[in-house]
Chain A
Amino acid sequence: MGEYALLYILFAPFAGALALIFVSNRQPMLVRGIAAGAAFVSLIASLYLFYAYDPVRGGFQFIQRFEWSRQLGISLYLGVDGIGTPLVLASSILLFAGIFVSWHIKDRTKEFYIWLLILAAATIGVFMSLNLFFLYFFYEMSVIPMYLLLGVWGSHTKKYLEMRDPEGLKQRDSVGFILNFASNSKEYAAMKLVLFLSAFAVVALMGILLIYKYSGLNTFDILVLREQAKLMNIPVLGTTLDKIIWMLIFFGFASIAPLWPLHSWSPVGHAAAPAATSMLHAGVLMKLGHFSIIRVAFEILPETTRELMPIAAVLCMFSIIYGGFVAFYAKDTKYVIGYSSSSHMGYVFLGMAALDYISLSGAVIYMFAHAMATGMLFAMAGWVYDQTHSRDIPSLGGLSNKMPFIAACFVVACMASVGMPGTVNFIAEIMIIVGAWNKYPFQVIVAVLGIVLTMAYLFKMMRGLFYGPMDQKYSHAHDAVSAVDRLPLLIMISVSVGFGIFPMHLYNVVRAGVDPLVAKITQVVPVASQERETSGVKREARVDSSRPNLVALPGDVSRLTLDAPRSDQ
């Protein structure tokens, strides 16, 4: 049973979507029940996966392999390592929560859940693909449902609703809506998101095709390519091929991450999307970028990664600061959260760029932590919007009287997003900061300033929404009282706080995935595994002797993060 966990996680949502096709839209409870059931199967299986993953053994586990096309060298090859496991868990938690967050959708309920399930299943598929073809397959498959989710069930911005053509008609139906840059209608957001992500996806596809050709192995299998592809030192166009491939892969996938300056689709998309879609979008869809870079560029081109990853270290500063400032001045709740997400994704890039055991583990944990925090924020922004039909912060206020439960949860979510001790975000942030300090002190200072900025805009939004005087037109707004409405928030809060207090298993799992990867890239082996080696063998692999060797002992998080003993101390 257990070894098929990945199949349950991946195919339960697909099966749910398929079953929903045969259900009538006139039975909304049955529709919701099937969707929730499918998500529940996926959630239980991924919880099992998370706790059954053996961090001591490490490597790829729960492997499933089915031949798909011999001629093209494609197999449906599924497996998770320590990096994929928490992200699979985050996806299924957010899917399950998202089903309940969108419980009250009345328009075409069935179709909404079908597309939501397909979106989540495709996202999960990326996290467990060990085949470049299927990685791209699921990646592109996750983009298209976004179009319908945004376009059909999304909402326009305030600015758009006020905008009129000279004839007094809304500019909604012209083919040229894509050129209405200022208006940000939901159609515009949906089209921009799909075209932007698809455009960069094909950039990455070009990189994948080049890997396929030049490896000459006639396979898309990542594990085979990782061991056998010889892509280094092939001169082409005045540089080397591996650099071109790396750039294609990196920028192709960084657009969904979203790395500045490729972020512009993201806040627009967040703002237009319905709450559950925003949650999945910000919570896990954006992590597809980081994950795919790690899975493709880090695994297959480790040496090029070491050489070119400083690009990410430079760009991530702009992400953090730019996103933070825009979030501070934005007046739309979803824009604030959207820009805060793209700002926070800069931390993940910083953690990845430092190529350090601690910082990369921090980056992976941050992805998990951010999924929960931003999921909560979007769920509550969605609730406030449903109650008040407004996302305009200046016009809102004082809602804590009407919705004390939501206000309290919002405070927790803000704390988590800021990285308060006690939430898993804190652990992730501190690991990134500590891990990256040796290599990128300036970026770390920027990142710490970014945390201050995060506090500023989140607290400003919290005050604007829930405190101060309340407009009487919102007096009908009410709190989340039913279990169905409270459940998703409670799940995400308990996950965030739970892993904040008991992070050890999460940490061990992530380290099991990160260790071999960083060892391969930096060729510096963590002391913990050096000690495990027989004492006679001397490692020759330290090419970068000026670089201090960080010590990491899995099993003791406090030593790791706060006073990690260094070899140079």
Chain B
Amino acid sequence: MNFELTMSFADLLLLLPEILLTCWLCVVLIVDFAFPSLPKEQLAYLSVVGLVATLGCLAWFDLTHVSGALFGNMFVLDRMALFFKMFIVGATILVILVSIEYVNRFAFFRGEYYFLVVMSALGMMFMASANDLLSVFVTLEFSTFGFYVLVAYLRDDLASNEAGLKFFILGVFAAGLLAYGISLVYGETGKLVFSDMAPAPATPGLMIGFLLIFAALGFKIGAVPFHSWIPDTYHGAPTPVTAFLSIAPKGAAFAILLRIFFVALAAFKPMWIFLLVGVSILSMTYANIVAIAQRNIKRLLAYSGIAQIGNVLIGLAAGTKMGSDAILFYLLAYLFANIGAFAVVIAVSHAIGSDEIEDYSGLNRRSPFLAFAMLLFLLSLAGVPPLAGFIGKLYIFVAAIKEGLYTLITVGLINIIISLYYYLIVVKKMYINEPIDPSPVSISGPMKAVVYVGLAGTLLIGIYPQPFIDWVVAATMMFSNLAAPTAAVIPLIPPFGG
């Protein structure tokens, strides 16, 4: 294999958003060191400026249909990559805005916090473009590297340290699996780029290799049975980091999963469909049942996140163009609801110093706005009309029913009810219970902005989804030639799982 490293200046243009962000990253770091007396929140706004510029650049690329591939197809820039890059950058902006208040809790390295967040975002942007196994490994580790530090950022907090350690050990283990999987796949096919692998025969080595790669990515998205790090890590990590961890890496990992399953493994759909169906059922059912018993809102959202990922996997199991549309759409709805919910959690914990669900009692009397926002975010996660989550779930189900995945849809529908129960328990605390301490809960400006963005996204996507559907449909145009499976491949009621 030889790498084409000769690049023209025009090729470099494809990397413009990443280059822009890298330069800005250095600027943030230098400003932090050069002006130690500068208030740290100025650094946050400085980072946001760079991210907004990157977002603008990405949007410009998307509108002008810039696309191409670099480094012998290791790095592709197509509309799906652009979608996920915008998703990641958008999530990062919102996370930085909710961090501003929280950062004051850190004893040290307040400036480096923003550097690390933006660096992880940069890694995930590369993930969205990764088109071969080596770049998957490099970009995945690059983005996780920042998180290892971020999760353990509350240095004097034992829970945070435990979270960091757990995340690190399991993360390194997943990296090992990934490397082993990649070596097996390369050994079997001699290829690294996804699109070259498509005609490979289904040898056991290849299957095991891809299973290991799926396990590593399953760790990243937190699907059962690769989820064990999620509750403790989400619980212990600083809340803005939890918010970041619950959204951005999942988007990036789904970019890779889509490329693997829909491009490299498109021909083996009858085989992997059962894997995905099983993982999806396990994720939804296990996480939703365990979430009922949670007393900490961060743990509740952690389990709810696992269940949401189970839902997204339904779209992956559908394995069609529509399935990929639904995945992108669902992630978009999930982004707004989840970042909004975490913003409320951060605001409440800032005011009352607790993340226990019990302490949300009477939030409606203490801050009607926060309670109402939380209500809408939770209902959107549960999938109640007219909110974004409902359209997302319906889109996923429609995509799945066209492929005849009845068991999966049935389990998904039952899980809506289970999840509704624990979300409504939180609503009960907020609205029905009387507050223990009736003092009002205030909310800072940037945080309020994030809650408004979350509300706007949740309601707008729910009430008028057409522009967003058009966007995701255009973003996944590359999958439109996926062969429609025939009736022979998908029996009406598959023997199990389907």
Which residues on A are within 8 Å of B, measured CB to CB? 67-72, 108, 111, 133, 136-138, 140-141, 144, 147-148, 151-152, 172-173, 175, 178, 186-187, 190-191, 194-195, 198-199, 202-203, 205-206, 209-210, 212-213, 236-237
Are the CB atoms of A195 and B394 closer together than 8 Å?
no
Q: Which of B293, B395, B431, B433 contacts A72 (CB 8 A)?
A: B395
Are the CB atoms of A140 and B384 closer together than 8 Å?
yes
Q: Identify whether the interface residues of A are mostly helix, strand, loop, or mixed.
A: helix
> Chain B residue with minimal CB distance to A67?
B466
**CB of B81 closer than 8 Å to a CB of A:** no
Q: Which of A72, A136, A191, A209 contacts B424 (CB 8 A)?
A: A191
Q: How many residues of B contact A (CB 8 A)?
A: 43
Are the CB atoms of B401 and A137 closer together than 8 Å?
no
Q: Which A residues are in CB contact (< 8 Å) with B421?
A: 178, 191, 195
Q: Which B residues are in CB contact (< 8 Å) with A206?
A: 409-410, 413
**How far is A393 from B384 in the complex, measured between Cα atoms in Å?**
38
Are the CB atoms of B385 and A194 closer together than 8 Å?
no
**How far is A69 from B431 in the complex, measured between Cα atoms in Å?**
34
Q: Which of A72, A111, A191, A209 contacts B368 (CB 8 A)?
A: A111
Given the known interface contacts A69-B466, A141-B384, A194-B424, the answer about A152 and B398 at a Cβ–Cβ threshold of 8 Å is no
**How far is A133 from B319 in the complex, measured between Cα atoms in Å?**
24
Minimum CB–CB distance for A105 against chain B, Å: 15
Give the contacts of B283-335 with A (CB-CB under 8 A): 292-293, 295, 322, 325
**CB of B59 closer than 8 Å to a CB of A:** no
Interface string of B377-421 (1 = CB under 8 A from A): 001000011100010001101100110100001100110110011
Q: Which B residues are in CB contact (< 8 Å) with A136?
A: 385
**CB of B86 closer than 8 Å to a CB of A:** no
Are the CB atoms of A209 and B420 closer together than 8 Å?
no
Are the CB atoms of B394 and A141 closer together than 8 Å?
no
What are 5 A-B contacts defined by CB distance under 8 Å?
A187-B428, A191-B428, A202-B413, A209-B409, A213-B401
Q: Which B residues are in CB contact (< 8 Å) with A186?
A: 432
Are the CB atoms of B432 and A151 closer together than 8 Å?
yes
**CB of B425 closer than 8 Å to a CB of A:** yes
**How far is A105 from B413 in the complex, measured between Cα atoms in Å?**
37
Which residues on B are within 8 Å of A, measured CB to CB? 292-293, 295, 322, 325, 358, 361, 364, 368, 379, 384-386, 390, 394-395, 397-398, 401-402, 404, 409-410, 413-414, 416-417, 420-421, 424-425, 427-428, 431-433, 464-466, 469, 473, 492-493
Which of the listed residues B358, B386, B433 has the most CB atoms from chain A within 10 Å of its own CB? B386
**How far is A330 from B402 in the complex, measured between Cα atoms in Å?**
49
> Chain B residue with minimal CB distance to A144?
B384
Q: Which B residues are in CB contact (< 8 Å) with A108?
A: 364
Minimum CB–CB distance for B145 against chain A, Å: 39
Are the CB atoms of B401 and A209 closer together than 8 Å?
yes
Are the CB atoms of A173 and B325 closer together than 8 Å?
no
Minimum CB–CB distance for A13 against chain B, Å: 14
Are the CB atoms of B425 and A137 closer together than 8 Å?
no
Are the CB atoms of A137 and B368 closer together than 8 Å?
no
Q: Which A residues are in CB contact (< 8 Å) with B384?
A: 140-141, 144
**How far is A67 from B421 in the complex, measured between Cα atoms in Å?**
34
Minimum CB–CB distance for B424 against chain A, Å: 6
> Chain A residue with minimal CB distance to B357?
A175
Q: Which A residues are in CB contact (< 8 Å) with B420?
A: 194-195, 198
Minimum CB–CB distance for A372 against chain B, Å: 29
Q: Which B residues are in CB contact (< 8 Å) with A190?
A: 428, 432
Are the CB atoms of A71 and B385 closer together than 8 Å?
no
Are the CB atoms of A137 and B492 closer together than 8 Å?
no
Are the CB atoms of A198 and B368 closer together than 8 Å?
no
> Chain A residue with minimal CB distance to B433?
A173
**How far is A210 from B413 in the complex, measured between Cα atoms in Å?**
13
Minimum CB–CB distance for A454 against chain B, Å: 34
Minimum CB–CB distance for B221 against chain A, Å: 25
Q: Which of B416, B431, B432 contacts A202 (CB 8 A)?
A: B416
Would you list the 9 A-B pairs with minimal beta carbon distance, nearest first? A202-B413, A151-B432, A137-B385, A209-B401, A213-B401, A199-B417, A141-B385, A140-B385, A152-B431
Q: Which B residues are in CB contact (< 8 Å) with A198?
A: 416-417, 420
Query: In the complex, given contacts A108-B364, A191-B421, what are 14 additional A-B residue pairs having Cβ atoms less than 8 angstroms apart?
Result: A68-B464, A68-B466, A69-B466, A72-B395, A72-B398, A144-B379, A148-B427, A152-B432, A191-B428, A194-B420, A198-B420, A209-B401, A212-B401, A236-B493
Q: Which A residues are in CB contact (< 8 Å) with B473?
A: 71
**How far is A205 from B414 in the complex, measured between Cα atoms in Å?**
11
> Chain B residue with minimal CB distance to A150?
B432
Minimum CB–CB distance for A178 against chain B, Å: 8
Q: Which A residues are in CB contact (< 8 Å) with B425?
A: 175
Q: Which A residues are in CB contact (< 8 Å) with B361?
A: 173
Q: Which of A69, A141, A202 contacts B417 (CB 8 A)?
A: A202
**How far is A187 from B379 in the complex, measured between Cα atoms in Å?**
18
> Chain B residue with minimal CB distance to A72?
B398
Are the CB atoms of A236 and B492 closer together than 8 Å?
yes
Are the CB atoms of A151 and B428 closer together than 8 Å?
yes
Minimum CB–CB distance for A368 against chain B, Å: 26
Q: Which B residues are in CB contact (< 8 Å) with A202?
A: 413-414, 416-417
> Chain B residue with minimal CB distance to A237?
B493
Minimum CB–CB distance for A255 against chain B, Å: 12
Minimum CB–CB distance for B482 against chain A, Å: 16
Are the CB atoms of A213 and B402 closer together than 8 Å?
yes
**How far is A187 from B434 in the complex, measured between Cα atoms in Å?**
13
Are the CB atoms of A209 and B397 closer together than 8 Å?
yes
**How far is A199 from B420 in the complex, measured between Cα atoms in Å?**
10
**How far is A69 from B391 in the complex, measured between Cα atoms in Å?**
11
Are the CB atoms of A141 and B386 closer together than 8 Å?
yes
Minimum CB–CB distance for B452 against chain A, Å: 13
**How far is A205 from B421 in the complex, measured between Cα atoms in Å?**
19
**How far is A162 from B295 in the complex, measured between Cα atoms in Å?**
28
**How far is A237 from B407 in the complex, measured between Cα atoms in Å?**
14
**How far is A563 from B465 in the complex, measured between Cα atoms in Å?**
55
Q: Which of B325, B385, B398 contacts A209 (CB 8 A)?
A: B398
**How far is A338 from B217 in the complex, measured between Cα atoms in Å?**
53
Minimum CB–CB distance for B91 against chain A, Å: 25
> Chain B residue with minimal CB distance to A210?
B401
Q: Which B residues are in CB contact (< 8 Å) with A173?
A: 358, 361, 433
**How far is A68 from B492 in the complex, measured between Cα atoms in Å?**
31
Minimum CB–CB distance for B357 against chain A, Å: 9
Q: Which B residues are in CB contact (< 8 Å) with A144?
A: 379, 384
> Chain B residue with minimal CB distance to A203?
B413
> Chain A residue with minimal CB distance to B379?
A144
**How far is A186 from B398 in the complex, measured between Cα atoms in Å?**
36
Q: Which B residues are in CB contact (< 8 Å) with A67?
A: 466
Q: Which B residues are in CB contact (< 8 Å) with A191?
A: 421, 424, 428
> Chain B residue with minimal CB distance to A218?
B402
**How far is A236 from B397 in the complex, measured between Cα atoms in Å?**
20
> Chain A residue with minimal CB distance to B399?
A72
Given the known interface contacts A205-B413, A236-B492, A237-B493, the answer about A71 and B401 at a Cβ–Cβ threshold of 8 Å is no
Q: Which B residues are in CB contact (< 8 Å) with A148?
A: 427, 431
Q: Which B residues are in CB contact (< 8 Å) with A178?
A: 421
> Chain A residue with minimal CB distance to B358?
A173
**How far is A72 from B398 in the complex, measured between Cα atoms in Å?**
8
Minimum CB–CB distance for B36 against chain A, Å: 45
Q: Which A residues are in CB contact (< 8 Å) with B428?
A: 151, 187, 190-191
**How far is A168 from B295 in the complex, measured between Cα atoms in Å?**
23
Are the CB atoms of A137 and B386 closer together than 8 Å?
yes
Which of the listed residues B358, B361, B368, B385 has the most CB atoms from chain A within 10 Å of its own CB? B385
Minimum CB–CB distance for A206 against chain B, Å: 6
Q: Which B residues are in CB contact (< 8 Å) with A209?
A: 397-398, 401, 409
Q: Which B residues are in CB contact (< 8 Å) with A172?
A: 433
Q: Which A residues are in CB contact (< 8 Å) with B409?
A: 206, 209
Q: Which B residues are in CB contact (< 8 Å) with A141?
A: 384-386
Which of the listed residues B397, B424, B425 has the most CB atoms from chain A within 10 Å of its own CB? B424
Minimum CB–CB distance for B365 against chain A, Å: 8
> Chain A residue with minimal CB distance to B398?
A72
Minimum CB–CB distance for A431 against chain B, Å: 35
Q: Which B residues are in CB contact (< 8 Å) with A68?
A: 464-466
